[in-house]
Amino acid sequence: MDDFLKLLKKNGVHHRVATPYHPQTNGFILRSTQQEEALHRIWYTLRREREKEKKRKLRELQCHYY
């Protein structure tokens, strides 16, 4: 266990231990998970929009070519 604590300290990690079902800890984890999910949805939506725009531009170019 001592090596583990040294590794955490070396990398600047603050290891937090909490009792199960502790409201403050669970709220923090829940909120961070919600934020990650929201960012993932935004990233995925933007990626999908870029792909749609690429396909639209490609169709326009093909129409002008023929």
Mean pLDDT by groups of 10 residues along the chain of 66 residues: 82 76 66 86 92 89 76
pLDDT at 19: 65
Q: Is the dihedral of CA 17, 7, 10, 30 positive or negative?
A: negative
pLDDT of residue 5: 82
Report how far residue 51's alpha carbon sits from residue 57's, in angstroms, rounded to the nearest whole number.
10
Asked if residue 5 lies in contact with residue 15, where contact means CB atoms within 8 angstroms, the answer is: yes
pLDDT for 34 equals 85
Cα–Cα distance, 5 to 14 (Å, whole number): 10
Measured CA to CA, the distance from residue 21 to residue 32 in angstroms comes to 16
